[in-house]
Chains A and B, each alone.
Chain A
């Protein structure tokens, strides 16, 4: 394969650590003070201005024979098109505009267009059902939604309950099937918008709002700002090692943060060519996509890698994959077997695992190009990131190699989320040492605090981090976090269910899948058909990710004496772990 001779962008990790400051990101982008700091502009107009307007920005393939290529100049004019259209529709800076579509080209154009207008892009996973969609649009007070004919039906079901949602815009499909009040806008068949007066955003101007799940309550919107680009650009350069002649593929959907930080902002801020495959997963299709497009750098997820492993080594030999030179992974911990497997089948190339989350906005801990990979390890903190694991009880940094604690970071890196949308108390709760009244701006700039990620790890004697698990009940399935509360709330809306608990259970490919424990209302009996009905009920309301893959009927759920369901107990049983202190469980 194509590895080996290239001197990596990061060079020596140790030297970078010693001489680090975030202004290096400006050098990487050849940034001059006084330039316009707007992500939409930087990823399109700025690349054109430096003379790369005709360079390919996006190689897109859909299901079947559909394919298209777009240059950076195309990105520029189509994002201008969306920006002007939205402006004419009354969208103003600061308004939340949801992008709810599959990975079609308009998703990428509109994302940049929304940012050029100064509005806030709110991408949501298109497989979300109407209830998941409603919760997130209501929380954000979203003013407009950009969607497709395929997904607009879900919007129609909930629009009457969303008073802030003023514009429903359909960007492709048969316009004759739209309902009254819906707007059609096909940017590629609209007049070209050569010029758009891009919003003069400040570093702290909000840019992207990604929703993420927690243990309690409904999902929270993590708000990012235009200044995040320094973290995203520098990590794309140093961790993913992108250079001018690379063909890059990030397999993530922009409904999740990886798909925007590393599927849009990072690569395009550097002027890299990237590929998008909008098609169902099969191993053969993925290998063919790499082969046909001569992909060199591939950023994927453990779930997909394990699914590829499952399909065997012989399939890999059916394809010409020698273009690959660098592989990386994110989403959940990449098991050692998968790292070793990739080295065997991809001619010595091993996946470099990375750790970060919606809130961090960019890669925090990772294995670097040129550095020894310890299979199963998350790697080491990115230069400029002050990381530690904190004692589970005292919240003091752990100094003992191998001792498990909470992964934590000193605040202040550029891509850090600025707040949870309308939830200052929850934001505050993420910081160890915060005063009870501190507001988000104080918290995110206080170098004496620790931002706690919600994950547990240990650090070995050489400084490598080793993931242990979540510190809460959030379920990590297929690399995506699913909140048990959201699932349980939906479960009890089913006519047969009286009470419900949702936990993660181990899964060979997805790390965890959802398992539900339910008690039934009088008049309902457990059956296989009822189980299937409940599964489909959740799949359609929330998402396929949230669908329980197993449902266990119970006479009663374990509760505390105060009546709270004890998920911890159920989860411990699923994982074969010690159930711990159960003295507080009710005897009822």
Chain B
């Protein structure tokens, strides 16, 4: 789980943040409610998770709440990995 968190956080920093903002984001930082990731960009984040972990996330699961922190994202992905 820690390895997954690290990889997801790294992806978010690379794709959605600029270099100066890296220190501001951690595993429990709000992503959707803070506006770092908007509803359109959630689609690419979902696609990343599906590709990386070979899973399929339904639209019902991919809610703003489920995607709001790295912690909650990894909980969702872990459910699919069994």
Contact = CB atoms under 8 A, between A and B. Distances in A.
Contacts of B47: 528, 531-532, 535
A539 interface: yes
Contact of B51 (A150, A532, A549): A532
Contact of B44 (A63, A64, A547): A547
Contact of A285 (B20, B31, B33, B63): B33
Interface in B6-63: 15, 18, 20-21, 30-41, 43-44, 47-48, 50-51, 63
Contacts of B64: 280-282
B18 A280 contact: no
A477 B38 CA distance: 14
Contacts of A540: 15
Given A280-B34, A478-B40, 4 more contacts: A64-B34, A279-B33, A280-B35, A532-B48
Considering the complex of A and B, which 9 residue pairs feature the smallest CB-CB distances, nearest first?
Answer: A544-B40, A280-B35, A544-B41, A528-B51, A63-B34, A280-B33, A535-B44, A282-B64, A280-B32
Contacts of A150: 18, 21
Contacts of B30: 63, 280
25 contacts: A63-B30, A64-B34, A149-B20, A150-B21, A177-B20, A278-B35, A279-B34, A280-B30, A280-B31, A280-B35, A280-B36, A280-B38, A282-B32, A282-B68, A528-B51, A531-B47, A532-B44, A535-B47, A536-B15, A539-B44, A544-B41, A547-B40, A547-B41, A547-B43, A547-B44
B37 to A, nearest CB: 8
A561 interface: no
Nearest to A278: B35
A496 B44 CA distance: 18
Contacts of B65: 282
Interface string A255-277: 00000000000000000000000
Interface in A443-481: 477-478
Contacts of A177: 20
A224 B64 CA distance: 37
A502 to B, nearest CB: 15
Contacts, number: 69
Interface in A140-177: 149-150, 153, 177
A487 B31 CA distance: 26
Contacts of A532: 44, 47-48, 51
B35 A63 contact: yes
Contacts of B36: 280
A536 B40 contact: no
Contacts of A585: none
A540 B38 CA distance: 13
B33 A539 contact: no
B35 A102 contact: yes
B30 to A, nearest CB: 7
B57 to A, nearest CB: 14
Interface of B: 15, 18, 20-21, 30-41, 43-44, 47-48, 50-51, 63-65, 68
Given A279-B33, A280-B32, A282-B65, A127 B38 contact: yes
Nearest to B31: A280
B25 to A, nearest CB: 13
Interface of A: 63-64, 102, 127, 149-150, 153, 177, 278-282, 285, 307, 311, 477-478, 528-529, 531-532, 535-536, 539-540, 544-545, 547, 549
How would you classify the secondary structure of chain B's contact residues: helix, strand, loop or mixed? loop
A176 B40 CA distance: 33
A531 B44 CA distance: 10
Contacts of A477: 40
Nearest to A149: B20
Contacts of B34: 63-64, 279-280
A529 B51 contact: yes
A539 B51 contact: no
Nearest to B63: A311
A279 B33 CA distance: 6
A481 to B, nearest CB: 15
A304 to B, nearest CB: 9
Contacts of A535: 43-44, 47
Contacts of B20: 149, 177
A549 B38 contact: no
Contacts of B18: 150, 153
Contacts of B31: 280
Contacts of A102: 35
A545 B38 CA distance: 10
A253 to B, nearest CB: 11
Contacts of B35: 63, 102, 278-280
A506 to B, nearest CB: 14
Contacts of A545: 40
B39 A549 contact: no
Nearest to B15: A536
Contacts of A279: 33-35
A532 B47 CA distance: 7
B44 A282 contact: no
Contacts of A531: 47
Nearest to A126: B35
A63 B36 CA distance: 11
A278 B35 CA distance: 8
A30 B38 CA distance: 42
A285 B60 CA distance: 19
Nearest to B50: A528
A549 B40 CA distance: 8
A158 B79 CA distance: 44
Given A127-B38, A280-B64, A544-B38, A549 B33 contact: no
A153 B20 CA distance: 10
Nearest to A549: B43
A33 B34 CA distance: 47
A65 to B, nearest CB: 12
Nearest to B44: A535
